[in-house]
Structure 1
Amino acid sequence: MFDLSGAIYLIELAFYAPIIPAIVFIVLLHGTKHPYTWRPIVIPLIMIAGLRIAAAGVGLAAMSSRDTGLQATATLLDTIGLAPVLCLLIGLLIRANAPVYKGLPVWAFLPLQMIVIAATVMTAYGGRDLYTSQNRQEQDLRLMRAGIVIFIAIFVGVIVLALFTMLKVRVKFYRTERAAVVCALLCVPFLSVRLVYSAGSVFSDANTVLNPMSKDGNSIWLHFLMVIVMEYMVTLSSTAVALTARKVVILTAGSANSLKDEET
C-alpha cells in the first residue's frame, strides 16, 4: 500500500513517461538535418523527463527498501529541475529566432545556458547533504543561495529576450516562431512560482513547510505542486508547440516576409 509520497511518485511517472515517446515523435517529425530543427527543445525535454522518471523510480525503490540514502537521492533529483526548464525556455527562443530575418543569433543564448549549468552545479553540490547532515551546512546554504540568485537573474534575462523576440515575429509568416515565443511567455508565471518556492526553501528555516525532506503532508503536497506540476506545465506546453509546429521552415530571400512552408 502506497503512502502519500508513493502516490506522488506514481503520479510523477504518469506525467513524464508519455514525454519520452513524444520526444521520439518530434525527432522523427522534424528531423535533425535542417538548421531550424527542434534540437534546443528536445535536449532539455530529455533531461527533465529523465530526471523526473529517475526520481520517481529511486523514490519508489527507497520506499520498498526503507533506505534513507535513496530517499535523499530521490529528493535531490526532484529538486534539480530549474536548469532543464530554463534551458527549455531558452531553447524555445533559439528556435523562434533561427529563421527570423535579423533575429537573435544562437550565440546570444549559449552564455545563458552555460551559466545555468554552472548554477546547477552550485545548487546540486550545496544540496548534496544539506537536509541529512549538519556538516558544512552554512557553506552548502551559501552555494545554494548563490545558485538560486543566478537562476533568477537568468530568468529575468530570458523574459527580456522573449519580449524582444516577440517584436520580431509579428509577421504572419512566422506562425511557428510566434507560437514558440508565446509559449515561453505563457510559461513565465509557472516558472516564477517555481523560483519563488526554490528561493523560499533555501532562504528560510529548514524546519518550515518549504523543506523538501519534511514528512509533513502539507510539505509533500507543496513540493509536488511546485517542483512537479509547475515544471510539467512548461514541459507539456513546449512539447505541444514542437508537436504542432510546421515540419520545415526555410528562408527564400533576404527579407522579413520571405518565409514559406517548404511543403506548400
Structure 2
Amino acid sequence: MAVVGYRNGIAILQLIVFPIVLVAAIFIWKRTGWRVGSKIWRYAVTLSLIRIAGSISSLLTISNDSYNIKVAVVVCQLIGIAPLLLTFIGLLRQIDVEKRMPPRPMALLTLVTIIALILGIAGVSSSNGEGGTYRPGKLAKVAMGIFLAVFVIFVLLSGWLFHELSFSLRRFQKKLFLAIALSVPLLAVRLVYSAISDYTTLSAFALNGNTTIYLCMDVLEEIIAMGITMALGISAILETDFVRLTPVTQEDTEPKPMAARVSSSV
C-alpha cells in the first residue's frame, strides 16, 4: 500500500491553498478589467496553476513513480519564481495610476523575467544530475542570478514609487503597498532558499533535501505572500477610490475612478 509522506503532505497543503488563490486572482482580474488586468493578475493565476499541477504530480508519485512524473514535479517546483515576481511587479502597475513609472523599462523588466524563466526551464531540461536527480547547471544559475537582480530592482522601484506618491496615496494604493511591504521579506527568504540550492552543494537545500527547510523557506513563503496579496488586493479593488486602469489612447490617457465611470455612463 502506498504511503503518504511528508512531501506529499506539503503537496496536499498547496492543493488546498492555491485553488483559493486562483479564484481570488481571477476575481480581481475580472474587476480590474480582462485586458489591462492581464498585465498584472494573469501571473498570480499562472503561479496558482503551476502549483496545482505540481501538487497533483507530486501526489501521483505515490502510486506511479515514473520518470515523466518526476520531471513534471521538478519543473513545476522550479519555475514558480518567475510568475511570483511578476505578480508583485504587476502590483506596481496597479498602483501607478498616474503613470509615474516609464512603461518601457517596466516592460523590459517583465521581458527579462520571462527570459530568465525560459533559461530556467532549459536548465531543468539539460540537468547534469546523476541517477535521475536534479543538479542545477549553468543556465539555471544564470536564471537565478537574473531573478535576484529583478527582485532588487523591484524593491528599489517600490521604494521610489512610494516616495513619489507618499503625499497623495489613495486608500486602495495604501493597501497594495502594504501587500508589497509585508511580502518583500517573504520573497527574500524564498529567493535565498533557491539561491542556496542553485549556488551551493548543501544537501539540505537540494531539490529533495531537508523537507522542513523546504516547507519553511519556500512553500510557506509563497502561500503567506500570495494570501496577503489576494486578501489586500480584493480589499483594494472594493475601495470607493479604486482607479481602474485603462488602455492608453489619444482621446483618453487619464485613468478614471470606477465611481466616475459608472456615473458617466448613466
TM-score (structure 1 length as normaliser): 0.83
**Aligned position for 1:77:** 76
From the superposition, tell whether residues 222 and 173 of structure 1 become closer, same or farther in structure 2 (CA, over 3 Å).
closer
Unaligned runs of 5+ in 1: 252-257
- Contact map agreement 2:128 2:137 (CA 8 A) in 1: no
**Aligned position for 1:119:** 116
**Aligned position for 1:19:** 21
Note the 1:45-64 alignment, pairs <5 A: 45-64=44-63
- The whole-number CA distance in structure 2 between the counterparts of 1:58 and 1:250 is 38
Q: Which moved more, 1:231-240 or 1:192-201?
A: 231-240
| Mapped pair 1:6 → 2:5 | no
Unaligned runs of 5+ in 2: 246-255
- The whole-number CA distance in structure 2 between the counterparts of 1:146 and 1:45 is 24
- The whole-number CA distance in structure 1 between the counterparts of 2:100 and 2:259 is 18
From the superposition, tell whether residues 131 and 179 of structure 1 become closer, same or farther in structure 2 (CA, over 3 Å).
farther
From the superposition, tell whether residues 173 and 211 of structure 1 become closer, same or farther in structure 2 (CA, over 3 Å).
closer
| Mapped pair 1:105 → 2:99 | no
Deviations 1:184-221 (A, max 9, x none): 2321111111111111111111x61111134xxxx122
Note the 1:173-252 alignment, pairs <5 A: 173-205=169-201, 208-214=203-209, 219-247=210-238, 248-249=242-243
User: Quick one: which amino acid aligns to residue 241 of structure 1?
Assistant: L
Identity in percent: 22
Alignment RMSD: 2.9
User: Quick one: which amino acid aligns to residue 157 of structure 1?
Assistant: I
From the superposition, tell whether residues 106 and 185 of structure 1 become closer, same or farther in structure 2 (CA, over 3 Å).
farther
**Aligned position for 1:168:** 164
- The whole-number CA distance in structure 2 between the counterparts of 1:134 and 1:74 is 16
Deviations 1:157-194 (A, max 9, x none): 11110001101222355221232223223211111111
From the superposition, tell whether residues 119 and 31 of structure 1 become closer, same or farther in structure 2 (CA, over 3 Å).
closer
- The whole-number CA distance in structure 1 between the counterparts of 2:164 and 2:86 is 21
User: Quick one: which amino acid aligns to residue 14 of structure 1?
Assistant: I
Q: How many residues align?
A: 248
- Contact map agreement 1:96 1:180 (CA 8 A) in 2: yes
User: Quick one: which amino acid aligns to residue 121 of structure 1?
Assistant: I
